[in-house]
Chains A and B, each alone.
Chain A
């Protein structure tokens, strides 16, 4: 069964689940350049003008949209059915459920277990001016209400980010759907793949955002974690004014709908009501539930990187090579095959760069550092320049390089999407076999030995 047509392919949840499934099947994850016939044109897009590239990027996003009139009729159970087909048909000692997280995705790969996302992105066709969040809400409200009425087990986070998604929001609006209950599809998958005594690992990202309540189980989120702070979205700043001026916007700050509460962040945050249903299911089927809780998506990145280093050393792999991934540009298969330590950034912005820089300053130096960098096409607030990326690559003792990204073209080097999967084996000759899965007991051993070293809580 193929990926449900209403799920965005350019999203963190689908991208990470896909990459993980490929790893569990022992296959590299071919990305946007697959099928191969698209690889050539995708790689050559660098040659075109900035405007053409932007249009191509928007067109690629628009091609994935669904009609707003279809939204309430979605068969959300198709997500679990698709994942059941994607992940190898076998039983697992543990299954992860919850927040999208690139660092944890590498952990799941190491443990050889599948992950079921709580949140998916449904890209809904809609054209509004990027700098008019109120209009984005107004246009989407009717369809959003229908969606939550038709699906009592979910909640809707309608998200509008005029900073990082400036290009995409010209063609679509972001409906992020979070499960409040497992649903028949996930329950069936757990019954089939997780034997009694197995463990459910809950990825619990506590990142929140100030939102506007639209209806029961329906909030509107203006902005998203990235280069601009939450305050800048809501109250403006000199950086925002400069950004809007640069993009010829008629406004110098955004006027969003009135804020009235905190909600789990639309893309990364974990909606806690799902935890009750997971516990109910676990009690009924004799499963153990453990929880990895953290405040920010990137909090898990140093932990997962150091865990890999520790694990690699046990396997007599030098563990002196770091592959930095960002957002959905992540490749667990080639990371493992090249004996590389993964470090994940949630996006490509200054806070992510700062977290990477802080990590590299704190640990034993890496001989090699490689960078995969998501391209979103907008010189948005808080997007670092070439020199900043080069400076962080300079932490490498021997080689610091990008994997198929031209930093001069960042963040408009869309050809990177068709290059990075091949760039890893081309630029890194090292080859290691896919390892036997890291055991949960090994993870617990590592965590017990590093109790206060990471901002991640392990509840068991």
Chain B
């Protein structure tokens, strides 16, 4: 972590979830942390936790949909600390609901926050990093940035876009070998996102299993700052699901279409809500959304302990193997049926 110690790090969306865990992780690693989110109250709490870890902290409340405000964060950070070593574009919101049922303005808002927010961060920090000749930009996408997922179309589209933005930025910055752009693609994470997100699905959402602790994503982000890589997956499930999608894209899409409505929601009916899309959540924020049994046991020293449990991973692997077999059989059966029907 030599590259992280004493470095200056900006984290957007630092009031809760992955952003909050990331701020604390950088503080633990000896970094100077600049935290931003809409809720100053929640940020102050995070700042206090960072200070308790011995870190220098600057709190700059801002809405990432405001390009000028994000530029100001970069300017103030560089002005105060002289440089920006790592910039984490993490701020994100979500919206549950069908494309035709969710309000237009809510759908737009997810794109504005997740995509425009990332774009504003890139646009703000690149000039400073070019000036330094160095820096690491970490954009938090998601495994759904590679995997179409129903009922969260705006979120999925935004995460595809974040990945594309990362790729474009990386290409544009090839002339500066000292600047790296990383995309982090977590699987389902235990964060308050599921409670804070807008919801027009009619049911209370929950993360798909296996759920990973946010600290594990934070550890991956810190690791990218120290040793950049183009794309970093978090969670064993991500790689397996993507492999599955590559091997049998048609079946994977149908399987996701069937699985997500069933496994991504509880049986608890809820009314339509814009959640934290337009206003920050009332609470002071937290890292976990309470979706894992053992999130308290997680440790940055051993990121692997952050997933729900080892047995959960084993169950997933078994499930995926069965799914793969079923898909192969299903594909064969389907083909046979279609062949008969075409006779």
Interface mask (B112-146 → A, CB under 8 Å = 1, otherwise 0)? 00000000000000010011111000000000000
The interface on chain B, measured as residues whose beta carbon lies within 8 A of the other chain's beta carbons, has a size of: 10
User: Closest 5 CB pairs between A and B?
Assistant: A429-B133, A431-B176, A430-B131, A316-B127, A430-B133
Instruction: Note all chain A residues with C-beta closer than 8 A to B130.
Output: 317, 339, 430-432
Expressed in whole angstroms, the Cα–Cα distance for A317 and B131 within the complex equals: 8
Is A433 part of the contact surface with B, judged by Cβ < 8 Å?
yes
Q: Determine if B175 is an interface residue (Cβ-Cβ < 8 Å).
A: yes
Residues of A within 8 A of B172 (CB): 433
Q: Report how far A135 CA is from B127 CA in the complex, Å.
A: 59
Does any Cβ of B come within 8 Å of A385's Cβ?
A: no
Can you list 26 pairs linking A and B with CB atoms under 8 Å apart?
A: A316-B127, A317-B127, A317-B130, A317-B131, A318-B127, A318-B131, A337-B175, A339-B130, A339-B131, A428-B133, A429-B132, A429-B133, A429-B134, A429-B178, A430-B130, A430-B131, A430-B132, A430-B133, A431-B130, A431-B133, A431-B175, A431-B176, A431-B178, A432-B130, A433-B172, A433-B175
Which of chain B's residues have a CB closer than 8 A to the CB of A432?
130
| A339–B134 CA distance with the chains assembled, in angstroms | 15
A positions within 8 Å CB-CB of B: 316-318, 337, 339, 428-433
Complex Cα distance A316/B175, Å? 17
Count of chain A to chain B residue pairs whose CB atoms are closer than 8 Å in the complex:
26
Chain A positions within 8 Å of B132 at CB level? 429-430
Shortest distance in angstroms between B258's beta carbon and chain A's nearest beta carbon? 47
Residues 143-175 of B, flagged 1 when their CB comes within 8 A of A and 0 if not, give 000000000000000000000000000001001
Distance in angstroms between the alpha carbons of A430 and B126 in the assembled complex: 11
- A interface secondary structure, majority: loop
A162 to B136 alpha-carbon distance, docked (Å): 56
Chain B, residues 168-199, CB within 8 Å of chain A (1/0): the string is 00001001101000000000000000000000
Q: Roughly how many angstroms separate A429 CA and B130 CA in the complex, as a whole number?
A: 8
A433 to B126, CA, bound (A): 12
Give chain B interface residues in 75-134, CB to chain A under 8 Å. Answer: 127, 130-134
Residues of B within 8 Å of A433, CB to CB, are 172, 175
Q: Which residues of A contact B131 (CB under 8 A)?
A: 317-318, 339, 430
Q: A433 CA to B174 CA in the complex, in Å?
A: 10
Question: Could you tell me the distance between the alpha carbons of A195 and B234 in the complex, rounded to whole angstroms?
Answer: 57
Cα distance A339–B176 in the bound complex, in angstroms? 13
Nearest-neighbor residue (CB-CB) of B71 within chain A: A316
User: Closest approach, in angstroms, between the C-beta of B101 and any C-beta of chain A?
Assistant: 41
For residue B231, give the distance in angstroms from its CB to the closest CB of chain A.
24
Q: Shortest Cβ distance from B279 into chain A, in angstroms?
A: 32
Chain B residue nearest to A317 (CB atoms) is B127
- The distance in angstroms between the C-alpha atoms of A433 and B176, with both chains bound, is 9
Q: Report the Cα distance A433→B178, complex, angstroms.
A: 14
Q: Which of A337, A431, A432 has the most CB of B within 10 A?
A: A431
Would you give the shortest CB distance from B236 to chain A, in whole angstroms?
38
Q: Which residue of B lies closest to A316 (CB)?
A: B127
Closest to B178 in A: A429
Q: A337-B175, A433-B172 are in contact. List 4 more A-B contacts (CB 8 A).
A: A318-B131, A429-B132, A429-B178, A431-B176
Nearest-neighbor residue (CB-CB) of A432 within chain B: B130
**Bound Cα distance from A43 to B163, whole angstroms:** 47
Q: Provide the residues of chain B in CB contact with A429, threshold 8 Å.
A: 132-134, 178
Give chain A nearest CB distance to B172 CB in angstroms: 8
- A-contact 0/1 string along B23-43, CB 8 Å cutoff: 000000000000000000000
Cα of A318 to Cα of B74 in the assembled complex, Å? 13
Interface centre among B131, B133, B172, B178 (most CB of A within 10 A): B131
1/0 per position for B210-228, CB-CB distance to A under 8 A? 0000000000000000000
Question: How many angstroms from the CA of A80 to the CA of B131 in the assembled complex?
Answer: 39
Bound-state CA distance A432–B176 (Å) is 8
Q: Bound state CA distance, A212 and B83, in angstroms?
A: 60
Q: How far is the CA of A429 from the CA of B133 in the complex (A)?
A: 5
Q: How far is the CB of A427 from chain B (nearest CB, A)?
A: 11
Cα–Cα distance between A316 and B178 once the two chains are bound (Å): 19
Measured in the bound complex, the distance between the Cα atoms of B132 and A11 in whole Å is: 35
Q: Please name the residue on chain A nearest to B174 by beta carbon.
A: A433
- Closest CB-CB distance, A424 to chain B, in whole Å? 12
C-alpha spacing A429/B177, complex, angstroms: 10
Question: Complex Cα distance A428/B131, Å?
Answer: 9
A428→B134 CA distance, assembly (Å) = 12
Residues of A close to B133: CB separation below 8 A = 428-431
Which residues from B are CB-within-8-Å of A431? Answer: 130, 133, 175-176, 178
CA distance A318 to B133 in the complex (A): 13
What chain A residues lie within 8 Å of B175 (beta carbons)?
A: 337, 431, 433
Q: Smallest CB–CB gap between A417 and chain B, Å?
A: 25
CA distance A213 to B196 in the complex (A): 89
Assembled-state Cα–Cα distance A317/B178 (Å): 18
CA distance A428 to B178 in the complex (A): 13
Closest residue on chain A to residue B128 by CB atoms: A318
Q: Which residue of B lies closest to A434 (CB)?
A: B175
Q: How far apart sit A428 and B133, CA to CA, in the bound complex (Å)?
A: 8
Q: Determine the chain A residues whose CB is within 8 A of the CB of B178 once the complex forms.
A: 429, 431
Distance in angstroms from A449 CB to nearest chain B CB is 24
- State the CA gap A431–B133 with chains docked (Å): 6
A318 to B134, CA, bound (A): 16
